[in-house]
Amino acid sequence: NSNSQTFASVAFRHVLPCGDNFPPAVAFTLLSRTYAFYFSFVLSPACKDLVAATRDRKLNTFIQVSVVHPAEHVLTRYSSTEIVEGARDPLFLTGVTFPPEYPVYEETKIKLTVYDVKDKSQDTVSDLPRFFFLGCTTFRVGDLMKSKEQQLTLTLRTSDGGKTVGTIEVNLVKMGEIEDEEADHVTTDAQDQKCALVRECTAPEGISGEKTLEFIPINLHLQRMHVHSPCLKDAVYDVITMGAPAAHCQGFKNGGLRKLLSKFEAERRNTGYQCIYYSPENTAKAKEVLSNINHLQPLISSHADLLLNSASQRSPDSLKNSLKMLSEKAELFVHAFKDQLVRSALLALYTARPGCVLKKPVMPRNSAEEGCDSQHQDHPSQIKRQDSIPHHSEYDEEEWDRVWANVGKSLNCVIAMVDRLLEKDNSSNIKEGENDPSPADCKMSHAGGDWYEKLYPLVITLKDCMGEVVTRAKQSMTFVLLQELACGLPQCLMLTLRRDIVFSQALAGLVCGFIIKLHTGLHDQGFLQQLHTVGLLVQYEGLLSTYSEEAGMLEDMAVGISDLQKVMFKIIEAKSDDFLPVITGRREHYVIEVQLPAKMFELLPQEIKEGKLLHMYPVLFNVGINEQQTLAERFGDTTLQENVNQENFELLKEYYKLFTEKMPPDCLPHFQEQNDLKGLLENLHQNIQAKKRKNVEIMWLAATICRKLNGIRFTCCKSAKDRTSMSVTLEQCSILRDEHQLHKDFFIRALDCMRREGCRIENVLKNVKCRKYAFNMIQLMAFPKYYRPPEGTYGKADT
């Protein structure tokens, strides 16, 4: 069922043969407003003993579907099947879906008319004089609903009702309930859960590829294939189709992001300006350090104050808990600055700012006895803060190590003092339990002094040492960030804008895919465990060539998809009827909050309910298939495609390794054959290394691995209209053959059927107001065999 009802005015459903003995069928899906149900009418494809006009003629037949409404008594031609050539017992694969707004009742009559096409090159009903009438039959929807086993066997007769020319069998299959007012929602699983975020959006007439809309993805759609079988379990396969995430409005004269970023980094590295080059990884690390500072410093200060408060109350339990929290945060603080970048940036900074004098910071005493002696402890007011970075001649490269280590030493002094205070308090309590305290014991206890007075100097020293680290770290990391801006601010801003445009398009598609995957997997415990334990694989299939502008698109796309690694999801319970996702964060780290209704939210594991962040692992595999790729392979360069595929294969291997380490082997049905999955990965690696021309097997293998790893599938070309249609339909027919026993004799016919009728040709119509893929015969000669559409479905059309 290639059903995209939300996005197309008419959708189609295909019921296909599953073996030698399975009766193939045509499916019709319609909505009865009386009962608010979808009903699927399955016609037997074996229209037996059809009579031709002449004995020797081979029939080329199709079925025309017409509707008679009870109130109007007017026959309305609705749609038709595909043409089956050269058969007196034709098998039809295509049926028609009546959308929710179409009025169908029990009294509605359906007329089925069989025609013989005299000129088989004509595959539409637009030119009736070329068709020869064979026979027709009519039935009421109510009769089918009330029939035994919900099945009718109908006789085909000539127009005068006299001669019998064959039979058609009609079966009723209820596909799912939906309320009238919710007919524009998508049923996402067997429990009729509605996904309220999928909505139709049609652009106004005359609007076109426009600069103010450059952040919006091109032709983004969900295509769902629902495989229904009376023998096997139903299955659903989703593919998100969208135009390649790229800065189309900015153009590709100078290449895409991958080349532009590389060129920018090289220019910065070799610039004549007085600035220091830091790699993008170092820049990202600097931002991370600054973020850790802003997060941890106030927490440590707060816990230190709580420790002093516990000391003033002389509460041993409270003191222990406060010390534990302070120790944990301080340890995180210390480890946050272990990176060599801080040290090297300080060295670069003092070199750039000579003439400053170093004022040595306070060194905490190593001995707990000495450090806790209030009579010899340096008063906090005696600590001198560093005003600036020292001159080169006076700067000690190990100074940062000492300043950084002072935080840990200060913390050790605090811990040691707390241990002493608690030990003395415990011993005094024991003595009091044994006998009445003597005056000498009371004097010793009083001499111990107040806990607050003992801890206060040590806590202040800890805060000062921490402040010293923060000051230096902020200066050094800000210096790193300023170097990036100083080396090419205008060019940097343009690249940032381009990267934002591409990322926004990719992010919109990812959010769509995640929400759909979540809704369909709410009752799959293995999937939910995988979601919070490992994260989700997000696999993009690219069909772009590495020639001319499309090479730039691929460069943009590769960077945009890679940037999705910075995105994590969080699922929350919706507090209103507004289920739109909420985006928070900055360029280096985004969190998408997805809202679920209360009933759905209750189905989630506790870890997800508690707000655990869910990781995404995006990968991209690209194989150009058009005539431009032929030019690239023979006269140009395919290195970009080879590098992208190799890099992303390594990412795919990392995800597979992570999955096998964290997930039990029998958690999901797909993983029961781990050796098979491992073999697929090895096969994919061999195909990537082979450097074979237009090696589409790379895409087939990557898609199969993605499905077996329960990932989200994307297919992209320039516009997601033509090449994407060829790929998606091929993938669907391959799934039917490999997973659902589609007979090999019907593979090509099913493939042509899906391309001639259904979602993909409707998508073309929606985009260019014409049912023609934008191919010509010369172009198609360069396409791989299984990526060529049937005759009559392509021609001159806009893109």
Positions marked catalytic: 717
Can you tell me the distance from the alpha carbon of 286 to that of 146, in angstroms, rounded to the nearest whole number?
A: 72
Residues 6+ apart with CB under 8 A from 750: 14, 16, 93, 733, 736, 742
Alpha-carbon radius of gyration of the chain = 35
Among 38, 119, 3, 86, which residue's Cα sits nearest to residue 791? Answer: 119
- CB-side neighbour CA atoms (13 Å) of 499: 17
Can you tell me the distance from the alpha carbon of 495 to that of 591, in angstroms, rounded to the nearest whole number?
A: 23
Neighbours of 591 (CB within 10 A): 15
Name the region of 314 (left: φ>0; alpha: ψ -120 to 50; beta: rest): left
Can you tell me the distance from the alpha carbon of 214 to that of 251, in angstroms, rounded to the nearest whole number?
A: 11
Please name the amino acid found at residue 79: S
Can you tell me the distance from the alpha carbon of 703 to that of 621, in angstroms, rounded to the nearest whole number?
A: 9
Q: What six digits make up the tokens of 564?
A: 């999705």
Residue 537's SS3 state is: strand
Residue 186's SS3 state is: strand
Going 752 to 754 to 756 to 757, the CA torsion angle's sign is positive
Burial class (CB in 10 A: 0-12, 13-18, 19+), 247: buried
What b/e sequence results for 187-202 when a residue is b if at least 16 CB atoms lie within 10 Å of its CB, and e otherwise? Answer: bbbeeebbbbbbeeee
Cβ atoms of 174 and 39 within 8 Å: the answer is: yes
- Which residues is 31 bridged to in the sheet? 38
Going 303 to 308 to 311 to 312, the CA torsion angle's sign is negative
User: Given the structure tokens 């993605």, which residue do they identify?
Assistant: 706
Residues 6+ apart with CB under 8 A from 516: 188, 195, 198, 222, 238, 240
Can you tell me the distance from the alpha carbon of 357 to that of 352, in angstroms, rounded to the nearest whole number?
A: 14
Sheet holding 712-717, edge to edge: 2-3, 221-227, 235-243, 712-717, 536-542, 614-622, 567-573, 589-596, 582-586
Can you tell me the distance from the alpha carbon of 696 to that of 719, in angstroms, rounded to the nearest whole number?
A: 19
Among 555, 584, 627, which residue's Cα sits nearest to residue 777? Answer: 627
Name the region of 161 (left: φ>0; alpha: ψ -120 to 50; beta: rest): left
Q: Going by DSSP bridges, is the β-strand pair 614-622/536-542 parallel, antiparallel, or unpaired?
A: parallel
Can you tell me the distance from the alpha carbon of 634 to that of 651, in angstroms, rounded to the nearest whole number?
A: 29
Helices (H) and strands (E) in the chain, counts: 22, 20
DSSP of 471-531: HHHHHHHHHHHHHHHHTTHHHHHHHHHHHHHHHHHHHHHHHHHHHHHHHHTTT-HHHHHHH
Can you tell me the distance from the alpha carbon of 523 to that of 525, in angstroms, rounded to the nearest whole number?
A: 6
DSSP of 117-142: ESSTT--SSS-GGGEEEEEEEEEEHH
Longest dimension (CA), the chain: 129
